[in-house]
Structure 1
Amino acid sequence: MKLLSTALAAVLLVTAPSTVASAHNRDHDLRIATYNLSLNRPAEGLLREHLASPDVDDVYRRQARNVAEVIQRAAPDIVLLNEFDYDPEAVRLFADNFLAVPQNGAPAQRYPYRFAAPSNTGIASGFDLNNNGVVDTTAGDQAYGDDSFGFGLFPGQYGMVVYSKYPIDRHHVRTFQKFKWRDMPGNLIPADFYSPEEQAVLRLSSKSHWDVPIRVGGKTLHLLVSHPTPPTFDGPEDRNGRRNHDEIRFWADYVRGKSYFYDDQGLRGGLRPGAAFVIAGDQNADPYDGDSYDNAIRQLLSHPFVNSRTAPAADGAAEAATLQGGANLTHKGDPHLDTADFADTAPGNLRADYVLPRRGLKVTGAGVFWPVQADPLSRLSGVYDPRWSAVNGFPTSDHRLVWLDLANRR
């Protein structure tokens, strides 16, 4: 473990510039981003309702306009959005009514290619997965979410969507929503917590895992996206920490081409050898701090097929850690690399969101959209404010958009 930690520390010394302005100074680069933008709503259908009426001036539409502006200013060519309730019509409405409309002078962004699919969140399992003695089937409450295949108050809450300026090869998209946790060799299922009957139905993905092939310059890039469960909100069995670890391990094994995988269409096997890929998403795991099980994210950061030498960074993240203090002052990781503004007492701000390319793909830039407070754009990240409590307490999200540029020689 000492050798691993030393190697990882060496990797993280190579950090990307923290400037936001560089978003518009690219030439022949491919920008890929991930953004947990908290466009989840407390009831089914509300997101569609809010996105259908963009001119209404309330906290929900203001947040949607703000997150659209962040995306416009970062201007990614391909972007994964986490915590976007599953609703194909909402996907269209956000693209047409928000991203394609300039926000505060930011340039409109148009994404003709989109992909969304069902999520395990809010789908009742029929079992007492939180062991409280009741199988809850009443959508809309906490107990129902705990007994679902992935936590959610209704089906599809906290889902995800991919927007792209390049064609998505929809015929070859692979989704792994129904892959069983027990079918991962050497899995970390807490067998003393879940009954044999529960283990037989448990799904690995708290949302889903997708392999989305995108055609860029005549070549295929596999965008490997997911949003593992937070390694918290459980008990001494650490069921969510263990699940988070194995959700991250999914990609570590998939890019090696291991054979145990099966997708929702029944196709077996992992990624074919030599295929170009980028792993993206809110992994809910920091390499040094927080509650991860057994250094979960290091399965990717130290993976021989993954290029993690360029670590997206932001001066605003380091500034926030200093100003907020609390748990941040005890962290071992570099605060420039933080991507999420969590409670200052525990766990503090963390690096949770990642864009990780295959080794051999040339990285030309990277960053985290977290401006310093003196920057006028800091209004988009902000700090926790009860006035935004209906949308997670921030003008956009408690997470920040993370981007990576790859050389794209067309």
Structure 2
Amino acid sequence: MSVCWECVVPTPTLRVAVLNIALSDPVPGRIRQKLSAPGHPRISRLAAMIQHVQPDVLLLCEFDHPGEGGDDGGLTDFCRYYLAEPQQGQVAIDYPYRYCPPANTGLLCEADLDGDGERTLPQDGQGYGFHHGHFSFVVLSRYPLIEEEIRSWQTLLWQQMPDNQLPEGYYSPEARAQLRLSSKNHLLLPVQVGYQRFQLLCAHPTPPVFDGPERRNARRNHDELRLLMDIINDEAYLVDDQGNPGGLDKDMPFVLLGDLNADLHDGEGMVLALRHLLYHPRVHRAVAEGKLTPKSLGGRFFRPWKLRRGRSSEWTHLSGLRLDYVLPSADFDVLNSGVFWPDKKDPLRRLVTDENGKERADISSDHRLVWVDVRLPAVKSE
């Protein structure tokens, strides 16, 4: 059968990225205040990283905003005063489409989670946080975000996941009946690119540390990763916050984005869920664990506090771990990928080091920006 090439509409190349931007503070409103004017040195360096990489779609983890969702002005000011103005010699960038989802962080649970007889933050939050919206995430895009079709699993209870990893005997029956699975949110957000649409699958699972022998955080991280896989698998038990059953349509392209707080080779997590996710048949294998995994030159020269087994070129965190992921579905063409971690001789290294050349979290972030260039298959026009 011949193809009408005049009817085939090519889709543009997209750069999709994630950055844990570390714009969170235990004091509510403090980040909003810092963003309310230009000139903050650390925020300027963070913006310069984004401007240098120029992502088309970007997930920013640990960006404080109202826990019920929406922008209190902080994201608008970050875009206005920092991204829309050249920083550190870089080129300005504009994101006309933005989304601030609701979050479980700092949302006080109706049950006493830690069993100390009191309901107090952060330990009794649905997700760890000193105020509602602490450690939230936001999405920025050059392409339209179809907000009326967003699906989320913020309120799914942990005990509702079949074969879950809830620690035996740690949570009271009252706590188990109230505790949600997602520590922030699990989100499907449609992005419109010309004639085509794909889904962003976003999450920021809890870190698998700060645990006791019950390993509640490691277990929750495992099941938050499993929830991502269950959404991809369209599992029958799923009901989203909007009351719709199931997960992702099997024919819908997607990009999974997040600081997953999990490393396949190192760290404290229960790696089975991450392994299943990275090797999922619908996830692009070359990007997940192949020749196109995002890499940097600068990471190779970093010496973390602990000896690691993983490939240093793939690290995205100052602890020497690969924690941050951009995972396109297998139906994307993947053209390139990378981690913004400048080499020792790169003039942009000043964005991650102090005046003595030492890499510190408070210079910009303890994470590095990860990006992947993708292209959707061409489509036939109507």
TM-score after normalising by structure 2: 0.89
Tell me the equivalent position of 2:117. 134
Choose from 296, 313, 325 the match for 2:295.
313
Instruction: Name 1:160's counterpart in structure 2.
Output: 137
Aligned residue for 1:114, secondary structure, equals strand
SS in 2 for 1:129: coil
User: CA RMSD for the aligned pairs?
Assistant: 1.9
Give the structure 2 partner of residue 371 of structure 1: 342
SS of the residue 1:230 aligns to: coil
Letter in 2 for 1:398: D
Gap change, CA 1:408 and 1:106, over 3 Å in 2: farther
Residue 99 of structure 1, aligned match among 83, 91, 96: 83
Distance 1:208 1:41 in 2: 19
User: How far, CA to CA, are the matches of 1:306 and 1:160 in structure 2?
Assistant: 23
Matches within 5 A, 1:207-286: 207-286=184-263
1:288 and 1:295 in contact (8 A); partners too: no
Please state whether the residue corresponding to 1:255 is helix, strand or coil: helix
Q: Secondary structure at the match of 1:403?
A: strand
Which amino acid in structure 2 is aligned with residue 113 of structure 1?
Y
Partner letter of residue 29 of structure 2? Answer: G
Q: C-alpha distance in 2, partners of 1:302/1:317?
A: 24
In 2, are the aligned partners of 1:83 and 1:160 still within 8 Å (CA)? yes
Q: Determine the C-alpha separation between the residues in 1 that align with 2:355 and 2:170.
A: 36
How far did 1:403 drift? 0.1
Q: Deviation of residue 394 (structure 1)?
A: 2.5
Q: Which of 303, 307, 311 is the equivalent residue of 1:334?
A: 311
Deviation at 1:384, TM superposition (A): 12
**Do the aligned residues in 2 keep the contact of 1:126 with 1:135 (CA within 8 Å)?**
no
Q: Distance in 2 between matches of 1:77 and 1:179?
A: 30
1:69 paired residue number: 48
1:120 partnered with 2:104: yes
- After superposition, the C-alpha distances for 1:293-350 in whole angstroms (9 at most, x for unaligned) are 14331121111111131210111111103xx4x423xx221111100002xxxxxx10
Q: CA deviation at 1:174?
A: 1.0
8 A Cα contact 1:248 1:299, kept in partner: no
Aligned to 1:400: 368
The CA distance in 2 between the partners of 1:327 and 1:297, in whole Å, is 22
Q: Quickly say closer, same or farther: Cα 1:209–1:383, change in 2 above 3 A.
A: farther
Q: Distance in 2 between matches of 1:100 and 1:197?
A: 48
Q: Residue 177 of structure 2 aligns to which amino acid in structure 1?
A: A
Q: Secondary structure at the match of 1:367?
A: strand
Query: Could you say which structure has the higher helix fraction?
Result: 1
TM-aligned CA deviation for residue 409 of structure 1: 6.3
Deviation at residue 93 of structure 1 after TM alignment: 1.2
8 A Cα contact 1:64 1:98, kept in partner: yes
Matched residue SS, 2:366: coil
1:175 to 131, 135, 152: 152
Residues 287-296 or 240-249, more deviating: 287-296
Q: In 1, distance between residues paired with 2:233 and 2:246?
A: 10
CA distance in 1, matches of 2:334, 2:124: 42
Amino acid at match of 1:238: R
Aligned mates of 1:134, 1:379 — CA distance in 2: 48
2: distance between equivalents of 1:266 and 1:28? Answer: 34
- Taking structure 1 as the reference length, the TM-score comes to 0.84
2:150 and 2:187 in contact (8 A); partners too: yes
**Deviation of residue 66 (structure 1)?**
1.0
Letter of the aligned partner of 1:193 in structure 2?
Answer: Y
Letter in 2 for 1:237: E
Q: 5+ unaligned residues in a row in structure 1: which ranges?
A: 1-26, 56-60, 138-143, 343-348
CA contact (8 A) 2:37 2:77 kept: no
Matched AA of 1:199: R
For the residues of structure 2 that align with 1:376 and 1:136, how far apart are their CA atoms?
Answer: 49
Q: Distance in 1 between matches of 2:143 and 2:341?
A: 27
Note the alpha carbon deviations across 1:84-115, whole angstroms, 9 max, x for none. Answer: 00240211111111111110221111000011
CA distance in 1, matches of 2:22, 2:100: 16
Q: Please tell me the residue identity of whatever aligns with 1:112.
A: P
- The code of the aligned residue for 2:21 comes to L
Matches of 1:393 and 1:117, distance apart in 2: 26
Taking the aligned partners of 2:271 and 2:172, their CA distance within structure 1 comes to 24
The aligned amino acid for 2:295 is A
In structure 2, runs of 5+ residues without a counterpart are 1-10, 287-291
Question: How has the CA–CA distance of structure 1 residues 352 and 383 changed in structure 2, closer, same or farther, with 3 Å as cutoff?
Answer: farther
**Counterpart secondary structure, 2:326:** strand
Distance (whole Å) between structure 2 residues aligned to residue 308 and residue 35 of structure 1: 22
SS in 1 for 2:199: strand
SS in 1 for 2:209: coil
Please list the CA deviations of residues 248-302 of structure 1 after superposition, one character each: whole Å capped at 9, or x if unmatched: 1111111111121122221221111210000001000000100011433112111
Is the Cα contact below 8 Å between 2:333 and 2:377 reproduced in 1? no
Contact 1:308 1:357 in 2 (8 A): no
Q: Residue 382 of structure 1 corresponds to which residue in structure 2?
A: 353
Give the whole-Å Cα distance in 2 for the aligned partners of 1:224 and 1:358: 10
Q: Which amino acid is 2:118 matched to?
A: V
Tell me what 1:82 maps to.
Answer: 61
